[in-house]
Amino acid sequence: MSDANVTKAQKYLNAMFGANEYWEHLEENGKTGTAVMQGIIRAFQIQNGIIPATGTVGPLTVEKMKSLPNISKMDPNDEPQINVCLIQCALFCKGYLAGGITGIYYNSGVKAIKEMQGDAGLPETGVIDWKVWFGLLSLNWFKKVSGGDSKVVTIQRQLNKDWSDVIGVGPCDGIISRQTALSLIGALQAAEGVTKELIINLNSLNFGPATTAAFPKVLQENQNSSDLIPYNKLV
């Protein structure tokens, strides 16, 4: 189904970045999905000097997200920011009402970010920080899809709430996807102390000897993460 706001985002991105050698023209059909999200990632990379702009999120892109100053509610008279326009495009393409592609982060945008944060299990601060960038500039969706399970949504939100420093901001669509399954492994390894750094590529994870060694010897009813044996006590 075509969405007028997604069309606006596609038109803006083509007009703003079309002359750049790394830009790949987006079909202006109002349909969200992989192509337009990769376009927004590519636009972010071009705008923020990440060359070559690949349309995929890697260590340099995440490093840039983390280095950007947080964006709080702006004054309507402030100078428009292209990065804010990209956030507004991403919100539209994720199904949130950003108000417009104005470059001014104001009432509608703040409300949309809070909604996205709530859907993703993050604190509803309305502040655009690296986790907002990480979630919006991804192929993840934060609203339950048709066929999604509400219990799975609860698990996905809890993973983001507790472990997004390590596993990033994963989907909350109610589908037990490969990414959600890998997020569980990443969260387990973080709880065990096997890893503390952000895992940008979850496909690099595996349930290996270190994870097995740090796993609790006996699982009991009402046991929680505080009962996990710290990995550094085992080596």
Chain segment 148-185, per-residue pLDDT in tens: 999 999 999 999 999 999 999 999 999 999 999 999 99
Q: Which amino acid is at 94?
A: K
- Closest by CA position to 33, among listed 95, 76, 117, 88: 95
Do 11 and 28 meet the contact criterion of CB atoms below 8 Å apart?
Answer: yes
Chain centroid offset of residue 111 CA: 17
Q: Residue 10 corresponds to which tokens in the numbers above?
A: 């596609």
Average pLDDT score over residue span 73-97: 97
pLDDT surpassing 50 at residue 133: yes
Give 230's pLDDT tier (boundaries 50, 70, 90): very low
pLDDT surpassing 90 at residue 126: yes
| Eight-state DSSP code of residue 198 | -
pLDDT surpassing 90 at residue 107: yes
pLDDT surpassing 80 at residue 215: no
Q: What is the C-alpha separation between 125 and 134, in angstroms, rounded?
A: 16
pLDDT surpassing 70 at residue 144: yes
Q: How far apart are the first and last CA of the chain?
A: 55
SS3 of residue 71 by DSSP: strand
pTM of the model: 0.89
Do 125 and 73 meet the contact criterion of CB atoms below 8 Å apart?
Answer: no
